[in-house]
């Protein structure tokens, strides 16, 4: 049913409708996009479905899952209770949450300082962060290993096989891209708010904690999410530093189940992989509303 719209002069004007495309034109202009989207979704979803099929297969091999869901059993999930899996899950959550919180606090403080204050070495500091972030932290794992050996002789809680030491190593590389991401977002907050708060008698700490952080909460959520995900799945540094099986993270523990070709249990590995994806997925869905705004708003004003 076509309705009429009333203009300022009282003349009824029929609403504008988009012209219908012919079949061939629809295929050439719109239809191929749907085809590409469907192919992309299938391509991305097939590995996930295959892993779920392997997790539900009682055979414990990947070749037995070539026929998806040919046999369904929860034996692999039940077997996880007889392993260190839940201890690894707890260790991973502790390390990932502590690293994410520390990364947000450190990155926000650095970004606020670079955005609001003008001091000697400011531009050099930003340039140094830009250069340092080009080199991944895993390149220094030998130096980190030797450093923690020496540090463990003085403070055992920060030495090898320590979750606190692993968190400190992760936080050592927390600045860099996170600071630049927050720095662009902090620049979008008008400085007039700081000046108005100063007139009312607020200190720098009060402005930072009660005003600025509330306005930049989207980027805080994004940085926390990215830090949590990267720490949750990190393997190389965790494998080098954590030596006892009870202190392993999920990435290290799951790799141990399939590292031996003759004793690899892919069914148990797939079941653990499915369960380990739940915390990341839950956090992503919880913070989804902040992701788009947090990633795009920082590019408005540099």
Identify whether the C-beta of residue 271 lies closer than 8 Å to the C-beta of residue 257.
no
pLDDT band for position 115 (cuts 50, 70, 90): confident
In this structure, of 11-20, 75-84, 120-129, 255-264, the range with the lowest mean pLDDT score is 11-20
Predicted local distance difference test score (pLDDT) of residue 136: 78
Predicted confidence at residue 66, as pLDDT, reads 63
pLDDT at 14: 56
Kindly indicate the confidence band of residue 1, based on its pLDDT and cuts at 50, 70 and 90.
Answer: very low
Across the chain, mean pLDDT equals: 83
pLDDT for the residue numbered 235: 92
Q: What is the pLDDT of residues 43-64, one digit of tens each?
A: 999 888 888 888 888 876 666 5
pLDDT for position 152: 87
Is residue 249 within 8 A of residue 267, CB to CB? The reply is no
pLDDT, residue 301, reads 43
> What is the pTM assigned to this prediction?
0.81
> Can you list the positions of beta strands (E) in the chain?
5-6, 12-13
Q: Identify whether the C-beta of residue 227 lies closer than 8 Å to the C-beta of residue 174.
A: yes
pLDDT tens for 153-171 read 888 888 888 999 999 999 9
Unique residue bearing structure tokens 């189940």: 257
Contact 272, 59 (CB under 8 A): no
The confidence score (pLDDT) of residue 27 equals: 66
pLDDT score of 18: 54
pLDDT, one tens digit per residue, over 59-113 is 766 665 567 777 788 888 999 988 999 999 999 999 999 999 999 999 999 899 8
What is the pLDDT, as a whole number, of residue 258?
86
Q: CATH says 83-299 is which class?
A: mainly alpha
Cross-strand partners of 5: 13
- Separation CA 267–CA 65 (nearest Å): 9
Cα separation, 245 vs 301, whole angstroms: 48
pLDDT of residue 88: 95
pLDDT over 70 percentage in the chain? 85
What pLDDT is recorded for position 134? 80
Q: Taking the domains of the chain in order of start, what are their residue ranges?
A: 25-73, 83-299
Eight-state DSSP code of residue 68: T
Of 5-9, 64-68, 123-127, 172-176, the one with minimum mean pLDDT is 5-9
pLDDT at residue 302, as a whole number: 42
Could you tell me if 83 and 94 are in contact, meaning their C-beta atoms sit under 8 angstroms apart?
Answer: no
Percentage, residues of the chain above pLDDT 90: 25
């Amino acid at each position: 049913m076509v309705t009429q719209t009333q203009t300022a002069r009282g003349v009824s004007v029929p609403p504008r409708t988009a012209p219908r495309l012919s079949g061939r034109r629809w295929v050439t202009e719109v239809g191929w996009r749907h085809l590409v989207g469907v192919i992309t979704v299938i391509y991305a979803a097939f590995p996930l479905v295959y892993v779920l099929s392997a997790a539900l297969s009682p055979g414990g091999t990947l070749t037995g899952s070539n026929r998806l869901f040919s046999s369904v059993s929860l034996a692999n999930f039940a077997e996880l209770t007889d392993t260190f899996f839940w201890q690894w899950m707890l260790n991973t959550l502790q390390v990932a949450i502590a690293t994410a919180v520390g990364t947000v606090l450190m990155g926000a403080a650095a970004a606020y300082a670079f955005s609001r204050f003008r001091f000697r070495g400011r531009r050099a500091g930003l340039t140094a962060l830009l250069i340092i972030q080009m080199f991944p932290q895993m390149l220094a794992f030998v130096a980190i290993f030797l450093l923690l050996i020496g540090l463990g002789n003085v403070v055992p809680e920060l030495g090898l096989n320590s979750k606190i030491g692993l968190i400190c190593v992760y936080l050592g590389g927390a600045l860099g891209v996170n600071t630049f991401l927050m720095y662009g977002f902090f620049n979008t907050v008008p400085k007039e708010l700081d000046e108005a708060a100063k007139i009312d008698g607020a200190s720098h700490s009060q402005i930072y904690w009660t005003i600025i952080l509330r306005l930049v909460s989207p980027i805080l959520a994004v940085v926390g999410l990215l830090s949590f995900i990267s720490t949750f799945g990190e393997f190389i540094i965790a494998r080098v530093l954590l030596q006892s099986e009870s202190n392993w993270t999920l990435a290290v523990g799951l790799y141990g189940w399939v590292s031996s070709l003759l004793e690899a249990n892919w069914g148990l590995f797939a079941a653990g992989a499915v369960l380990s994806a739940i915390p990341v997925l839950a956090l992503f869905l919880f913070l989804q509303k902040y992701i788009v705004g947090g990633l795009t708003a920082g590019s408005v004003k540099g």
